[in-house]
């Protein structure tokens, strides 16, 4: 628990109660509702992974999504993959009427994924260049090579009233080519930042800061995600301008095992409100 002690220095919050075990503070949501802020979208894939490992419906991903929103998150993210090893396609259909914040569906835009997204019509579709057997997203789009393919997909989604974001790295040529696809936003792939942050935070953040400024100049909205955590999120948010949304799943859910889901969401929101 010691590694979380420094979060008490982040800001003053209105304390609602303290749990007897662990003495972890629960915070009210009122602090977060009065000004524009970077949105927290919680990726609930890992809850589905846990459910699928045992069969049955425990944990219930529908209830999880409702609770995550009740606990203050501003969005729900899912990433259905062809093997349905975590979120299933039916889950996405069942979740859609329960999302009253923002619904973000990530994935590689093959025909099955595209049909699902066009049926659900989420707030946002995030295009990710995953191979079918990849364990987790590990690269952004080569927006130069795949520009025509992306243009067609993006136009189809936007014609259905869906905001589109595409997963990219921080290279200027990739961001410039992304703007030419017609996408609304990019999502900066932050694993390199998370990897370098412990040893050299200033060096780690620099390409992301520059990428966000450049993207904004080109008229693109900026999202971010992958390996963002309580350890590195506040620094990222303070130093990357124009950040509209972060999508966080694995680290947040790991933290929730120790801290509880509601408290964990509040800590992530707290890190974004610096």
Catalytic residues: 79, 106, 226
Residues 6+ away with beta carbon under 8 Å from 89: 80, 112, 116
CB 274 within 8 A of CB 11: yes
CB 165 within 8 A of CB 128: no
3 state SS of 20? coil
Residues 6+ away with beta carbon under 8 Å from 109: 125, 127, 153
CA distance 140 to 188: 8
Q: Are strands 75-78 and 103-107 parallel, antiparallel or unpaired?
A: parallel
CA distance 48 to 194: 25
CA distance 174 to 5: 39
DSSP calls for 184-206: SEEEEE-HHHHHHTTT-HHHHHH
141 sits in the region (left: phi over 0; alpha: psi -120 to 50; else beta) called beta
């Amino acid at each position: 628990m010691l590694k979380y002690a420094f979060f008490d220095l982040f800001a003053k919050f209105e304390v609602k109660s303290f749990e007897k075990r662990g003495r972890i503070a629960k915070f009210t949501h009122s602090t977060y509702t009065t000004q524009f802020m970077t949105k927290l979208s919680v990726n609930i894939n890992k809850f589905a992974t846990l459910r699928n490992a045992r069969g049955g419906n425990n944990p219930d991903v529908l209830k999880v999504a409702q609770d995550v929103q009740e606990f203050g998150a501003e969005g729900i993210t899912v990433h259905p993959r062809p093997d349905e090893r975590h979120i299933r396609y039916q889950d996405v259909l069942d979740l859609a009427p329960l999302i009253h914040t923002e619904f973000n569906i990530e994935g590689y835009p093959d025909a099955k994924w595209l049909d699902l997204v066009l049926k659900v019509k989420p707030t946002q579709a995030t295009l990710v260049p995953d191979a079918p057997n990849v364990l987790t997203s590990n690269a952004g789009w080569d927006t130069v090579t795949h520009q025509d393919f992306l243009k067609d997909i993006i136009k189809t989604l936007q014609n259905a009233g869906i905001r589109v974001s595409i997963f990219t790295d921080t290279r200027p040529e990739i961001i410039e080519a992304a703007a030419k696809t017609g996408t609304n936003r990019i999502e900066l792939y932050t694993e390199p930042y998370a990897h370098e942050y412990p040893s050299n935070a200033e060096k780690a953040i620099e390409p992301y800061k520059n990428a966000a400024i450049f993207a904004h100049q080109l008229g693109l909205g900026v999202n971010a995600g992958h390996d963002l955590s309580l350890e590195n999120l506040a620094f990222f948010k303070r130093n990357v301008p124009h950040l509209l949304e972060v999508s966080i799943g694995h680290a947040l859910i790991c933290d929730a095992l120790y801290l509880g889901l509601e408290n964990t969401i509040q800590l992530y929101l707290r890190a974004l409100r610096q």
